[in-house]
Amino acid sequence: MVFASPVIFLQVWRFVSPGLYRHEKRVLIPFTLVSTLCFLAGAAFGYFVVFPPAFQFLLGYTSDFLEPMPAVDEYFSLALRLFFAFGLIFELPVLMVFLGRIGVVNKPFLTKNRKYAVLIAFIVAAILTPTPDVVNQLLMAGPLVLLYEVSIVAVALFARTTLAGFSPRGDREEEPAADADSHEQE
């Protein structure tokens, strides 16, 4: 699944792209490339950084009477859960840029709601970590908060400046007639 992620993202894009205009389709290659890189970076982070302490935590339940004997399926189950959890978490900047491009979020909105994002990051980390220890929760919440900050910068660079067709004053902006004609021609 990890190695198939470029094909999966491409297929998702091909499913969505027939409903898009030509200028919206120009993001096919960057979307696929960035999504794949983010997913693979998250999976690698989960396996190389988070997996060793999580596995050590599970092996820590030893005593004179208990000897840990993890089965191969338990090992792979833990590794795959971390792969996918961190792969999806590292997609946060891509999701935020997408939401920014369609006008749902912008930099001031994300900056203003930073404290809620930190709280949600720790809640998500508490839910998604396979082991109930603080170290693994911090290893998940830390990248989430960092990725949120990266998302703010990415939205500022690549997204619109207004929210959902509203002007900065708050009144509804009218779409120019020339743009409406160009949309009909495409």
Integer Cα distance of 106 and 156 in angstroms: 7
Q: Report the b/e string of 15-37 with b at 16+ CB within 10 A.
A: eeeeeeeeeeeebeeebbebbbe
Which of residues 124 and 56 earns the better pLDDT score?
A: 124
| Total number of domains constituting the chain | 1
- Label residue 131 by pLDDT band (50, 70, 90): low
SS percent in the chain: helix, strand, coil, step 5: 70, 0, 25
Each residue's pLDDT tens digit, 133-184: 788 788 889 999 999 999 999 999 887 654 444 444 444 444 444 554 544 5
pLDDT tens, position by position, 36-72:
889 889 988 988 888 888 777 777 766 667 676 777 7
Average pLDDT, the chain: 78
- State the residue range of the domain holding 160: 5-185
Under a CB-based contact definition with an 8 Å cutoff, are residues 87 and 40 in contact? yes
